[in-house]
Structure 1
Amino acid sequence: MIRNAQLICLVAFLWMGSQKLFAQTDIGESSHWYNRGNYNPASIARPGYLYIFSNYRRQWVGIDGAPTVYNLNASGYVDEYNSAFGIALTKDEVGLTSALNPTFQYAYRVMFREDLNLAMGLSAGIYSREINATAYEAEVITDPVLDYTTEKFFSPDASVGFELQSKHFLYGLSTTHLFALWKEDDEFLITNHRYAYFIYRNSELELYNLTAGVQVANRRNLTLVQATAILRIKKPTGLIKGPTELFDIGVTAYSEKQLTLLTGINITRNMRVGYTYDFNFGANKIGNGSHEIVFEYRIPLRIIRDNGYPWYD
């Protein structure tokens, strides 16, 4: 099964990588390695906890009207039904436009054996965008060519994904904004995206956890490849509950000449705050980089001394 999954993901990477590369892209967020729910609903199939994830992203600091993103995800797994249920809400502000994308998420997990599961996920909701032309500051406000009318656009929204989950490996495939497949691309609504990723994780080491992965994201003629490595430092306790996770640091490299620094601190065993910063080294450098602030919290769904579930699986 693992070999077949590796072959499937390799084919997906080659197919998506064959698309034309562009220098700039707005696909994804820097902190998505900690939360894949925005682009793969299958990833919410994680037992043991109710997970809450939120982040705020300010892109291209110093540029008026640069993108600002607000994101909130919450999900929980129900053992009796082998199912996870979640909600996601994303707001994106760019210039005079504002987009809102609320969705409901569902994932079902099939267990092949104790350390090998296949999760299948579906999300459904609405994608809307508003153009606030009244905020436009024209040099000649009486110009008859200018239209100050506020416009709103709506579209149903749905995404589907799969994730093969083993003890140390995750393989994922997903496609988002499915209704965009049946309409022409335009500047107001959003287009269909496709994702494929491979993640290695090891939480059995005494002094640190290790996460490393590769992801390919594609939107028509634009493809972005990125690779990441994250270390989460731990302090041994000698207790049954295991070591205490202290902080994490990592880096993500992009095919568009960009690096992202990933950092985070565990406030408690169930609460974490993080910060990411994007460094752009390309010829088309814009602004002073991008900042992202992350807050994560998990609530145990049952009271046991040691549930054996590491963070961010």
Structure 2
Amino acid sequence: MKKMLFLLTLFCLLFASSPSLKSQTDILFSNSGMNPDVYNPAVILNNGMINLQMLVRRQWVGFPDAPSVEHVRVSHFFDDQSMGLKLSVMNQSVGKEVSRNVSLAYVYKVNFDPQISMNLGLSAGLVQRQILFSNLVFQDGNEPLIRPDENYLKPDFAFGMHLNAYDFDFGYAASHLTTIGRDPSISRIPLHQHLYAFYQINLGDVNDPKFRTGVSYHQQGKVQYLQIDAQFYRGMLQAGIGWRHTDSFILKAGLRISEFVEFAYSYDMGITRFANFNSGTHEFVVQIRLNRKSAAYLSPRFMDY
């Protein structure tokens, strides 16, 4: 009990210490565990395999220049050295702004006892940001003097920690660290922060149903989101629901074809007036595992920390 009180206190302190920031850049995801997996460099699959993950998100389908994301990640954890590497590539488009990011994360695992461990992660990479002013279209024909396209290429860093204790998971991540204490601008992406906690209820042994629920907080400048998720796993199938305040209600489903291949899908139904002008948001994830260990991997979680 004392250990759990300590972990809950740590979670609350991290939440309370988040400073007030400005602006928003990165798109949030809807499938179970995707926000920690993408934005926390400390989160990595530890299954003895090479893990390939591909994600495609199409937001506000039917609305012109709506946000879209493509993300690819390759990772492997070296259990005998208590460390792992994670290579990520992301392409994000919002209107006439295009951002591309490539990063390599180093993860180190600290074991406190057989049921409590912490991952610490640090990633470094490059972020390219393009503002395509030449693609702007003016309906009235009186086009002002169009600015030339702008292109920025800068180093980018992120830090994260992920704590696993019994059936609880806690984590914190901060990305775009080079902008700490600096005002955001067209060429400068603001600091982003993510904080989350998940709890898994095991309804039997490893092959029996499991239920996982959690809450996450995302601070992206003045825009802040609270997201609640619940996911049910049984055999090859998984299904879940989610809610992102002031934004959307989320439906989720997944299929594990084998221990090597999994699919996940989510659909966001908008809960604002803007929902009348689009047909929702679709997100697809494919997970492929290579180089199987001698022992079978039977975790029911899509994102097994």
TM-score, normalised by the number of residues in structure 1: 0.85
State whether structure 2 residue 40 is matched by structure 1 residue 49: no
Unaligned runs of 5+ in 1: 235-245
Q: Which deviates further from its counterpart, 46-55 or 250-259?
A: 46-55
Residue of structure 2 aligned with 1:252, choices 215, 232, 242 = 242
- In the aligned structure 2, how far is the partner of 1:95 from the partner of 1:227? 28
Deviation, structure 1 residue 249: 0.7
1:20-54 alpha-carbon deviations (Å, 9 max, x no partner): 9x9x9964211251462321111116243322211
- In the aligned structure 2, how far is the partner of 1:133 from the partner of 1:50? 41
Deviation, structure 1 residue 184: 2.2
State how 1:1-313 maps to structure 2 within 5 Å.
Answer: 1-14=3-16, 27-31=27-31, 33-34=33-34, 36-44=36-44, 46-139=46-139, 143=143, 145-147=145-147, 149-202=148-201, 205=204, 206-234=207-235, 246-285=236-275, 287-304=278-295, 306-307=296-297, 309-311=299-301, 312-313=303-304
Q: Which amino acid aligns with 2:215?
A: V
SS of match in other structure, 2:242: strand
Give the equivalent residue in structure 2 for 1:240: none
Deviation, structure 1 residue 289: 1.4
1:66-95 alpha-carbon deviations (Å, 9 max, x no partner): 111001111110022100101011100122
- In the aligned structure 2, how far is the partner of 1:257 from the partner of 1:309? 31
Q: Which amino acid aligns with 2:104?
A: F
Contact in 1 for aligned 2:198/2:214 (Cα 8 Å)? yes
Deviation, structure 1 residue 268: 1.8
- In the aligned structure 2, how far is the partner of 1:262 from the partner of 1:107? 29
SS of match in other structure, 2:89: strand
Contact in 1 for aligned 2:89/2:103 (Cα 8 Å)? yes
SS of match in other structure, 1:231: strand
CA RMSD of superposed structures (Å) = 2.6
1:119-143 alpha-carbon deviations (Å, 9 max, x no partner): 1000110111112333333458795
Contact in 2 for aligned 1:214/1:228 (Cα 8 Å)? yes
Contact in 1 for aligned 2:32/2:229 (Cα 8 Å)? no
TM-score, normalised by the number of residues in structure 2: 0.88
Deviation, structure 1 residue 165: 1.2
- In the aligned structure 2, how far is the partner of 1:150 from the partner of 1:97? 10
Deviation, structure 1 residue 222: 2.3
Q: Which deviates further from its counterpart, 205-214 or 97-106?
A: 205-214
Unaligned runs of 5+ in 2: none
Quickly say closer, same or farther: Cα 1:35–1:302, change in 2 above 3 A: farther
Aligned length: 297
SS of match in other structure, 1:66: coil
Contact in 1 for aligned 2:32/2:231 (Cα 8 Å)? no
Quickly say closer, same or farther: Cα 1:120–1:66, change in 2 above 3 A: same
Give the equivalent residue in structure 2 for 1:243: none
Quickly say closer, same or farther: Cα 1:19–1:224, change in 2 above 3 A: farther
